[in-house]
Amino acid sequence: MSQLILDDRLLLARPFLIKEILNALREGLMPIEEKEAKLLTAQLRNGFIWFVDTLEKVKIREGLEGSYVELLTKIADEKGLKASDISEYDLHLYDTWFNLHPEKVCGVQKGTTSYSFPVTTFGTEADIINRVNPKRPNNPSAVKLKAKAAKAKLLLLEL
């Protein structure tokens, strides 16, 4: 998932961009092989846009091309979207809430090659502990868990 912070107006344009890309993939307007198009479709349905973190220019259809933020801005302008229009439904559509709150994700979201699980979050135990309780780096519950894990490992080795 991108650490790019978008204003509410651009977040509201995000589902429209995803629908535009899905339509372009379905109609064969993007120069992508069929197998890759199926994978991108699965990722998009889960709210994952592959070119968010790059400056890559993507052509969706005639008159709609550019980088991620440029595309969102064009769509927001075309649709006349305002920041005040965002609703609870919009926040839950295509994982938009996590784009609004990237600090709530314990790791980094990346696209995979799996159709069943097209998006996964890569993170460590430290990422989770730091997200859940950032003010206490030596979280006592984490220390207790590590001690229990070490004890269990010793018990297993004795078997």
Helical ranges in the chain per DSSP H: 8-26, 34-45, 68-79, 88-92, 96-100, 125-132, 140-158
Question: Which amino acid belongs to residue 52?
Answer: V
Residue 158 to residue 151: CA distance in whole angstroms:
11
Q: Is the pLDDT of residue 155 over 60?
A: yes
**pLDDT score recorded for residue 142:** 65
**Residues whose CB falls within 8 Å of the CB of residue 98, separated by 6 or more in sequence, listed in order:** 1, 47, 104, 105, 109
State how beta strands 58-61 and 64-66 pair: antiparallel
Q: In the predicted model, what is the mean pLDDT of residues 112-141? A: 72
Q: In the predicted model, what is the mean pLDDT of residues 3-12? A: 74
**pLDDT score recorded for residue 2:** 46
Which tokens sit at 37? 């198009």
Residue 76 to residue 73: CA distance in whole angstroms:
5
Q: Is the pLDDT of residue 138 over 70?
A: no
Q: Is the pLDDT of residue 156 over 80?
A: yes
User: Rounded to whole angstroms, what are the CA distances from 94 to 4, 18, 159?
Assistant: 16, 8, 48
